[in-house]
Amino acid sequence: MRALAVLVLVATLSAAALKLLEGYTAERTASNRLRSLERRVERALVGYQYDELGLRVDAAPVVVAGAGVTVRLTANVRRAGREVARVFEVHTRRGYNGDLALLCAVEDAPDRRLIAVDVLEHHETPGLGDRIEPEGTDFLQQFSGLELGHIRPVDWEPRRRGGRFDAITGATVTSRAVIRAVLRALETGAVDRRLASSAPTETK
């Protein structure tokens, strides 16, 4: 009986320790993700004047019907106490090898001016689709400064499909996925109030 009681005690303590370890690991993972996201947001806003950044982690994603795209508010950007821009996390399933995740910084103005676009995650082909990365080509730079109201929806395509955007050679599918995802981010962010309703979790 005594041996059994010892075994039960050891098992109970082991389970409690495991649970504590799992909680610590999950908390540390979430903290690391938040810091990583903060660095990416700051990189997207390089050169843009602001004095306060409110990161969001509890904002629900908005699904764009029929587009294979979800858009989630990631940060509110303020200057002198006034919101001047928002940063969105955009996920699309239309990459050549599946999911692509982008970060789109958009100025809060009537024409929805794009400040910058960055890549958060992708599974594209090395040497081809992976050149959407800022270090690979200047592909993403063509979006900076664009305004939603000044470009017709039909022009949000690669040039070879009659649009106005350059595509990465040999990676038209990847290029088009990025182009269309950026458009959806601008359109959805402009009209969907759910992308402005969450409370900030951290402010800098």
The string of DSSP codes covering 66-93 is TTTEEEEEEEEEEETTEEEEEEEEEEEE
Asked if residue 72 belongs to a domain, the reply is yes
Q: Checking DSSP bridges between strand 98-107 and strand 114-121, what pairing results, if any? A: antiparallel
Asked if residue 99 belongs to a domain, the reply is yes
- Give the phi and the psi of residue 90 in degrees, each rounded to 5: -120, 125
Residue 33, burial from CB neighbour count under 10 angstroms (0-12, 13-18, 19+): exposed
Based on the structure, what is the number of domains in the chain? 1
Asked if residue 153 belongs to a domain, the reply is yes
Tokens of 59: 């904002």
Asked if residue 112 belongs to a domain, the reply is yes
Asked if residue 6 belongs to a domain, the reply is no
- Structural domain for 66, as ranges: 52-203
pLDDT of residue 64: 77
Asked if residue 43 belongs to a domain, the reply is no
On whether the CB atoms of residues 180 and 102 are closer than 8 A, the answer is: no
pLDDT of residue 184: 87
pLDDT of residue 37: 79
A 10 A CB-CB count for 35 gives 12
pLDDT in tens, the chain (204 residues): 666 665 655 556 566 556 665 554 545 555 676 787 788 889 889 889 999 998 887 777 788 767 788 898 889 999 999 999 999 999 998 888 888 899 999 998 777 889 999 988 888 878 887 788 877 678 999 999 988 888 888 999 999 999 999 999 889 999 999 999 999 888 877 666 556 644 444 444
Asked if residue 24 belongs to a domain, the reply is no
Asked if residue 187 belongs to a domain, the reply is yes
Separation between Cα atoms, residue 86 and residue 99, nearest integer Å: 23
Residue 118 per-residue DSSP state: E
